[in-house]
Amino acid sequence: ENVLTQSPGTLSVSPGESATLSCRASQSVRSNYVAWYQQKAAQAPRLLIYGASYRATGIADRFSGSGSGTEFTLTVSRLEPEDFAVYYCQQYGSSPITFGQGTRLEIK
């Protein structure tokens, strides 16, 4: 299976600054089929990005995704208080679908 490794495990950033989250796959992801989700406490995950770089409906343009092959990045610009949460990457290019272990974005 394609193992996803996210880094860092925890990222401390001040509101108004930018955060860069990384997701590395153990094998190349077919057609860059990578999605990013945000999860807040006691809530379900929410889709942010699919196809590595396409923003989901209703997602602020402060969220952007990039990457290809085995290296993918989620960038959150101009951090707002509601952005502090856990972020997961997912690959759906091969079976089984797999997720990264998450990056916790916390307020500095």
Partner 1 sequence: QVQFVQSGAEVKRPGASVKVSCRASGYTFTNYDLHWVRLAPGQRPEWMGWIRPRNGDTKYSQKFQDRLTITRDTSASTAYMELSGLTFEDTAVYYCAKKGGATDWFDPWGQGTLVTVSS
Shortest CA distance to 34 belongs to which of 100, 83, 84, 85? 100
104 is an interface residue for partner 1 by CB under 8 A: no
Q: How far apart are CA 56 and CA 14, in angstroms?
A: 25
Q: Which of residues 14-33 bind partner 1 (CB under 8 A)?
A: 31, 33
Choice from 2, 50, 83, 105 touching partner 1 (CB under 8 A): 50
Choice from 13, 20, 46, 53 touching partner 1 (CB under 8 A): 46
Tokens at 75, concatenated: 């960038």
Q: Which of residues 62-91 bind partner 1 (CB under 8 A)?
A: 88, 90
Which residue ranges make up the site for partner 1 (CB under 8 A)? 31, 33, 35, 37, 44-47, 50-51, 56, 88, 90, 92, 95-102
